[in-house]
């Protein structure tokens, strides 16, 4: 575990330290696109954050190769999966950099994603067999395994790319998925002594470091975006780990610990099938991807056309703030990912199922209360941000002069003057001033009566 923590910390530190210089380079290189109609940020923000993330990936692999235990992954791996990952990641990263700077057609990007997946397959990172409940291990034909591997990589890359719409959303959600994935892979390797799970465990640790190192620069308000060079990169790393552990770990090896091949397939199906087509580890991005394809096709648009119909856009439309929308997406991702991994260990526990149901109910309440703003108690107001403090009540005017002003201009206007806000113009009734206050945010915008 110490070597994994060291690799994670080195990856996170390199990613974090590189992000600042990369931001300056992106500004100089002109990788600062104009704000589009579907964007939610207000100021032009540089992209190319994937350059720093790719640097963290290379640093993590380099450090792991020189460690005592993790170095065995590079030596004992028959297919040399770390090299396959680095080759595919390099291609997809280069494609993303070109798209961030000059823009690349959607079909060209799709072709590049398939080429990157094909390069990994040629170097041995492919699905060889899959466990099927009630049947056992199904050995795949090389052509079928190749097609399934390429499809999984392309789906995961685009799912992560589609969800990258709010500050810190994609990096946080992928980091949560990678953490859950790490726990599952680590348990297989050191809990069941399955050596084939070692590459996937290493990939997950490096992916966590990439996301954690980039997240401080990408939280709202973001100073830099990861762009396609980052979103496609972390999607490919996540898919590579899923392919490694799902299609290369032989269930017969696990059967020695649970009493047979069919028994281990049934025991691990809550996690094996989701990892085969990561519907729970990245369930929210996958759902967003499918909904986007259906919505755009129904409207006669290309499935790759951008719009403002994603899940995070809908959260903003119903009244959630930027930070709250991101936290809600984090919550559901963590609930699904960690819940699936925990269920694979304690699938017979009734209390665990009840806990998942209770947490799901909490998530639904958060979705239905977009305007709920928690307020800290008065004794804790000095330790929380201003938005969580209780607002002081403006004093009521008692003097005759103030009362006269209140009659002429409405009581709401005098209260606003005393509280330091812009007064409502004279000549408006109290009801009109209160109801139409949003129209008079600045006195110079009000035309005088003719």
CA distance 449 to 365: 48
Task: Work out the average pLDDT over 336-350.
Answer: 73
**What pLDDT, on the 0 to 100 scale, is given for residue 407?**
41
Q: What is the CA radius of gyration of the chain?
A: 27
**What pLDDT, on the 0 to 100 scale, is given for residue 252?**
57
pLDDT in tens, 36-90: 555 555 677 888 999 999 999 999 999 999 998 888 888 765 568 899 999 999 9
**What pLDDT, on the 0 to 100 scale, is given for residue 410?**
43
Q: What is the pTM of this model?
A: 0.73
pLDDT in tens, 185-228: 888 877 777 777 888 899 999 999 999 999 999 987 888 999 89
Q: Are residues 52 and 189 located together in one domain of the fold?
A: yes
Last residue of a domain, one of 215, 247, 275: 275
99 pLDDT band, cuts 50/70/90, is: very high
Contacts of 348 (CB under 8 A, 6+ apart): none
**What pLDDT, on the 0 to 100 scale, is given for residue 215?**
93
Task: Work out the average pLDDT over 379-401.
Answer: 58
Whether residue 10 has pLDDT greater than 60: yes
Task: Work out the average pLDDT over 238-242.
Answer: 89
Range of the domain at 256: 2-275
Does 291 map to a domain?
no
Whether residue 280 has pLDDT greater than 50: yes
Weakest-pLDDT range from 68-72, 116-120, 329-333, 340-344: 340-344
Does 418 map to a domain?
yes
Weakest-pLDDT range from 68-72, 163-167, 416-420: 416-420
Task: Work out the average pLDDT over 271-286.
Answer: 53
Does 363 map to a domain?
no
β-strand partners of 129? 139
Does 382 map to a domain?
no
Whether residue 443 has pLDDT greater than 50: no
Does 346 map to a domain?
no
Last residue of a domain, one of 257, 275, 293: 275
Task: Work out the average pLDDT over 82-102.
Answer: 93
**What pLDDT, on the 0 to 100 scale, is given for residue 202?**
92
Does 139 map to a domain?
yes
168 pLDDT band, cuts 50/70/90, is: confident
Query: Of 392 and 312, which is predicted with more confidence?
Result: 312
Last residue of a domain, one of 275, 296, 323: 275
CA distance 230 to 54: 8
Q: Report the domain count for the chain.
A: 2
Does 313 map to a domain?
no
Does 290 map to a domain?
no
């Amino acid at each position: 575990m110490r070597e994994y923590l060291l690799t994670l910390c080195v990856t996170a530190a390199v990613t974090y330290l590189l992000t600042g210089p990369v931001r300056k380079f992106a500004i100089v290189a002109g990788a600062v696109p104009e704000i589009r109609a579907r964007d939610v940020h207000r100021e032009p923000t540089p992209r190319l954050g994937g350059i720093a993330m790719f640097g963290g990936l290379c640093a993590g692999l380099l450090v792991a190769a020189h460690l005592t235990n993790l170095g065995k992954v590079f030596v004992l791996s028959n297919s040399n999966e770390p090299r396959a990952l680095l080759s595919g990641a390099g291609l997809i990263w280069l494609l993303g950099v070109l798209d961030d700077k000059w823009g690349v057609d959607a079909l060209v990007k799709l072709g590049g994603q398939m080429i990157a997946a094909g390069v990994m397959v040629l170097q041995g990172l492919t699905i060889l067999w899959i466990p099927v409940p009630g049947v056992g291990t199904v050995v795949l034909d090389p052509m079928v395994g190749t097609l399934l591997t390429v499809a999984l990589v392309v789906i995961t890359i685009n799912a992560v790319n589609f969800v990258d719409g709010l500050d810190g959303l994609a990096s946080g959600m992928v980091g949560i998925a990678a953490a859950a994935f790490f726990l599952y892979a680590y348990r297989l390797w050191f809990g069941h002594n399955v050596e084939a799970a070692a590459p996937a465990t290493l990939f997950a640790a490096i992916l966590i470091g990439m996301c954690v190192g980039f997240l401080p620069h990408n939280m709202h308000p973001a100073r830099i975006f990861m762009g396609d060079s980052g979103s496609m990169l972390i999607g490919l790393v996540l898919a590579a780990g899923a392919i490694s552990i799902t299609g290369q770990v032989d269930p017969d090896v696990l059967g020695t610990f649970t009493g047979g091949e069919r028994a281990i397939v049934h025991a691990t199906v809550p996690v094996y099938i989701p990892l085969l087509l990561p519907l729970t580890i990245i369930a929210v991005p996958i759902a967003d991807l499918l909904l986007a394809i259906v919505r755009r096709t129904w409207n006669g648009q290309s499935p790759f056309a951008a719009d403002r119909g994603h899940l995070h856009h809908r959260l903003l439309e119903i009244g959630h703030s930027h930070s709250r929308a991101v936290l809600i997406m984090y919550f559901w991702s963590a609930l699904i990912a960690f819940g699936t991994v925990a269920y694979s260990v304690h699938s017979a526990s009734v209390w665990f199922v009840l806990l998942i149901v209770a947490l799901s109910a909490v998530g639904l309440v958060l979705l239905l209360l977009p305007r709920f703003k928690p307020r800290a108690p008065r004794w804790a107001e000095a330790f929380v941000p201003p938005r969580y403090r209780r607002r002081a009540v403006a004093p009521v005017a008692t003097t005759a002069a103030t009362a006269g002003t209140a009659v002429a201009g409405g009581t709401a206007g005098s209260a606003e003057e005393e509280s330091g806000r812009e007064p409502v113009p004279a000549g408006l009734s109290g009801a009109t001033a209160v109801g139409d206050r949003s129209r008079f945010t600045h006195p110079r915008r009000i035309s005088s009566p003719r």
